[in-house]
Each structure stands twice: as C-alpha cells, then as structure tokens.
Amino acid sequence: MTVDFRWKDGFPKIGIRPTIDGRRNGVRESLEDITMNLAKSVAKFLSDNLRYPNGEPVECVIADTCIGGVAEAAAAATKFRASNVGVSITVTSCWCYGTETMDMDPAIPKAVWGFNGTGRPGAVYLAAVLSGHAQKGLPAFGIYGKDVKDAGDDSIPEDVQEKLLRFTKAALAAANLRGKSYLAMGSVSMGIAGSSINEAFFQEYLGMRNEYIDMTEFTRRIEEGIYDHVEFDKALAWVKENCKEGVDNNSVQTQTSREQKDKDWETVVKMTIIARDLMIGNPRLAELGFGEEALGHNAITSGFQGQRQWTDHFPNGDFMESILNSSFDWNGIRSPFMVATENDSLNGISMLFGYLLTNTAQIFADVRTYWSPDSVKRVTDYELEGVAANGLLHLINSGSATLDGTGEQQQDGKPVMKPYWEISEAEAQSCLDATSWRPASLEYFRGGGYSSDFLTRGGMPMTMSRINLVKGIGPVLQIAEGYSVDLPDQVHETLDQRTDPTWPTTWFAPTITGKGAFKSVYDVMDNWGANHGAISYGHIGSDLITLASILRIPVNMHNVPDEQIFRPRAWGLFGTESLESGDYRACATFGPLYK
C-alpha cells in the first residue's frame, strides 16, 4: 500500500485576477493583452517554482476575462469558488476602479502586484486598492517593483519574484490548514500546557477542527487486529533489517528480556501503522471490514500523549513518532507526517507551519539546555568557536525527532533536509544507518519501548519556532534562525552524558543580533516561551512572519533582518518605526482570520 491517498481531495489553487481600466472605446482595448499576459506570466512563474506537499507543481486559475468592474469581479469570484481557489493575486499594469475590482473574500489571503511603469499608472491603482482593503478591514499584501519597466514587458523583476514567492508560500500554507484537523491521541501529558487543547485557537486562527481519541483506541485496534496484517509483516521485516538496536542503558537488574524487547518491537510497529490510520484513514481497512476506521480523522497533524498513562504500562511512542515524522518507512520514501510528542498541539502546529512552507520534515525537540562558552570550557576544556562562539542550545527530546534530522541527506557535499521527492534511497538508508534505537530508559518509560539516538550534522541553516498562547492576547509566534553545530566527539559525549544519552541531539547556535531577545544565546533561551521547539531546515523566519501576519498572529521575537519582513500593506498604518508593536496592534485590530 501507499499513503498518497491522504491528498485525494487535492490542494487549494492560486487565483490570478487581471484587473483593468474599464473604460471602453480605446482605453480598455489597448490594455487587454498586456494585462492578461501579466497574469499568465505570474501563473507560469508560480507553477514553475512552487510545489504542493505531494511534489506536484502548484496550480493557478486565471479569471476568464480581465476585471474592469464589479460584474467581472463577481464572475471571477464564482469561478474561484468552483475551482477551490485558496489564494488570490491581483495583477495590473494600469489604473483600475479600486473598490469595484478588488477581491472581497475575507477568508482568502490576497496580494496585489501593481506594475511599475510610466505609460499607465499601475502603482496608482495599487495604492488606491490597498487603501480600500485597509478601510474595509481586508488587509492585502502590496507588491511594487523598485525599477520602472516598459509598457508591455510581462517579465517579472527579481524583487517582485521574491515577494510573489514569499506571499504565495505563506498563503498556500494558510489555505492548506483550512478545514483540516488536529488529532489529539490522548489528553494532557504531565501538565504540559500545550497539550491542553485550545479549540478557539484552532478554529478562529487556523480554520481547523479538533478531533480526539482516547489512547485505549490503540489497545482496541491492537487486540482486535484492526490494522493491515500484511503491511505489519512487511513493516516488521523492514524494521529488523534497517533499525539497529542500540545499547541498553538500564541497569542489568531492570533490563527487560530479549523476548519482551521483541514484543515491544511488534507493539511499536503496530502503533505506527495505527496512528497513521487514525490520522488519514486507510482504504485497506474497509476491505477488511472496518469501514468506520477506514475513514480516519482528516488530520494534517496530531499529537500523542504517551506520558504517563500509556508509557507507565505500554511501550513508548518514540518509534511511532520518529518514523511518522520522517520522510520514509517500509513503504518507501514519502511525505512526512507531523506528530507532536506529549500531545503538544502548539508545537505540532509550529511543526506544521515549517512543513507547509518547506515541504520538508521537522525536528521536534526540547529546548533543553543553554551551554555558555564558559560552561563548555569548564566541563570539557574546549573553546567554542565559529557560529557557536557565543554559546549553544542543546535540543534533545526522548527520541521522537525526524530521522531526516540526522543531516545525512546531501546537496553539493553539505548536509541538508530535502523534500521527499528529492531524497534518494541511499540517503534514506544513510539516515537509518546513522540512527540507533535504544531501549527506553525505564526511569522515564516504565512500559519500555525504544528511543531513536542520533547526532545532527553541523553546518545546516535552521529555524526554530514556537506558538505560545497568552491569556488576553491569544497566540504569539517566536522565531530563532541559526545553525546546527558540530562538536568534537569527546566534547559532545561529555555534554550528552549529562542528560539522557539515548536520545537524539541537535546542537543549535542561534544567530545573535545584539538586540532584544537576541543580545546573547542566553537571552534566546531565557525568552523562549515553552519547553519545546519546532526546528525546520533553512532560514525560513521571513516566511513564518508572512504566514503569521496572514493568520493575525503577532511575532514576539525574531532575528530576521527588517528588509526581509513582508506583511500586508496595512501593517505600516500601525507605525513604521517599531514593527513589533505595530504587528501586535494590527493583529489585534483585524482579529482572527476565521472569527
């Protein structure tokens, strides 16, 4: 079987709206071809450069005619609704009638590109229509090229390309959330606030549903055989061949028997299959007579409580979470799932943001320890250097991080994390080979199980993010760009042994700006809002900021250069000096996207 059926309902499309001066008898007629060619140029550019999570090029839908007034605007809206358009981009090279031609759908993220040319005043329309958007409480992104172009030039300047891509990636991410579910598998884990589901946040800010199952559903499906037994046999054989068991750190007196370890392997493999089936369904279950279970919960992300009601008695969920979060399993290379440890829904959503912006797997980790240069020197006699010279954050959790996070995928000889369609079989195997599966620490997990253990390769650009909820404000997003770091083997071993060495480690050096929460690495740690973080490959802070503005989520800390920040034009009306405070006021004023 494959899991491609999770995308069976397709993806939201990008609607391209060519707007035009509606005056006939020479004005409109002279602009028809120019305006429509701009729309076609944008559609081709986006389809050539962006992909959906299944690897296919994004689809664009162009209005049937140029839009010169309200009748044609309504016709375009009707076509877009029928075509599952979730993102709107208006393009023009001329003056148009602003409030008559604008996109009025309040739930669709929208941008306007006003062509910078002297022949016709596209920039005048851009300013007028963005004013209308602000006045009506429908904020839109304004795209205006720096350089004047000749009339009829349908090429897209580089600065316009950058903004088109940034907006569209973020807008598609927002559109892909709408109508999907977060599946809570269990309830609150050890008093972690993020696993206490806030339905208003999901519904009003993300347009998502919340679904719930008790962890006894795993027990029921295991005991009653509600899973594909053929797939289980295939999966268990794959695990025995590819998942090497590591050293058992438990005392000799408490170590479980070989027979029990083998039973644990069978259980965690079944848990993995069942969790996937719970999220997205499985047509095979209908063939086996389980029609209700075959449907799944339409979950684009999920979380597993585990601790402690499950893990005090049953094997832990680390293998299940790690494999689902990875871009490969016994069925081959495929798009990763997003599964949050300890049912931390807010970190699950942070992972989902990173995934939808990059199409790559995400690392779930505790933001465990700040290691200052002095502390590292004292403990190991090693001087931190390079990007780590100001200190490190030890990102480590109980073995649930994606195996893509090993950094064993390569591009130009450097470690990377790739979209699944770019990953080779050899790279997937290297990720598996770099990971050992350590019998779980019985101090934490009385029911046994296995935790992944690997060390992330250094030199990868990374972005750590986290959604937090604040009473009286709502959600806020924090972002820290930086790099993974290589340490000498002995230094890593010495530091790693001071915590649980059976878990995967990423040494992360955030980029320091000398301002605010980024005055030092210590300040980053001291200002981080929760115990978990979602780590994405690449420096995607600017894309996260754009997505947050679409969803009306203010950003409370980031180290993204100001020139890379792209928000709706109306944000500037809340102040152009203190962008952070203006962001808070704009989000509060416009309110949640779906409220």
DSSP-derived letter for residue 58 is P
User: Does 32 show up as a binding residue in the annotation?
Assistant: no
Residue keyed to tokens 């999901």: 202
Is 366 a known active-site residue?
A: yes
Element (H, E) at 78: helix 70-82
Is 342 a known active-site residue?
A: yes
Rounded to whole angstroms, the Cα distance separating 358 from 404 reads 14
All residues at 6 or more sequence positions from 16 whose CB lies less than 8 Å from its CB, including other chains: 39, 42, 43, 60, 61, 62, 63, 89, 91
DSSP-derived letter for residue 25 is T
Q: Is the N-terminal amide bond of 308 cis, ω within 30° of 0?
A: yes
Instruction: Select which of 72, 211, 321, 342 is catalytic.
Output: 342
Side by side, the strands of the sheet bearing 450-453 are: 244-245, 436-439, 450-453
User: Does 297 show up as a binding residue in the annotation?
Assistant: no
User: Does 342 show up as a binding residue in the annotation?
Assistant: yes
Q: Where are the alpha helices (DSSP H) in 105-145?
A: 122-135
Strand 85-92 and strand 110-114: pairing?
A: parallel
Q: Buried b vs exposed e over 71-83: b needs ≥16 C-beta within 10 Å?
A: ebbeebbeebeee
All residues at 6 or more sequence positions from 321 whose CB lies less than 8 Å from its CB, including other chains: 304, 339, 340, 341, 364, 399, 400
Rounded to whole angstroms, the Cα distance separating 271 from 273 reads 6
Instruction: Select which of 154, 204, 321, 366 is catalytic.
Output: 366
All residues at 6 or more sequence positions from 74 whose CB lies less than 8 Å from its CB, including other chains: none
Q: Is 560 left (phi over 0), alpha (psi -120 to 50) or beta?
A: beta
Got the DSSP string for 404-419?
GGG--EEETTEEE---
Got the DSSP string for 293-360?
GGG---EEEEEE--TTTTTTTS--SHHHHHHHHSSEETTEE-PPP-EEETT-HHHHHHHHHHHHHHSS
Rounded to whole angstroms, the Cα distance separating 113 from 115 reads 6
Residue keyed to tokens 């009748």: 71
Residue keyed to tokens 């289980």: 232
Check if the beta carbon of residue 125 is closer than 8 Å to that of residue 98: yes
Strand 13-18 and strand 60-62: pairing?
A: parallel
Q: Buried b vs exposed e over 414-429: b needs ≥16 C-beta within 10 Å?
A: ebbbbbbeebeeebbe
CB atoms within 10 A of CB 223: 8
Helix, strand, coil in percent for the chain, rounding step 5 = 40, 20, 40
Binding-site annotation, residues = 342, 366, 532
Binding-site annotation, residues for Mn(2+) = 342, 366, 532
Q: Catalytic positions, please?
A: 342, 366
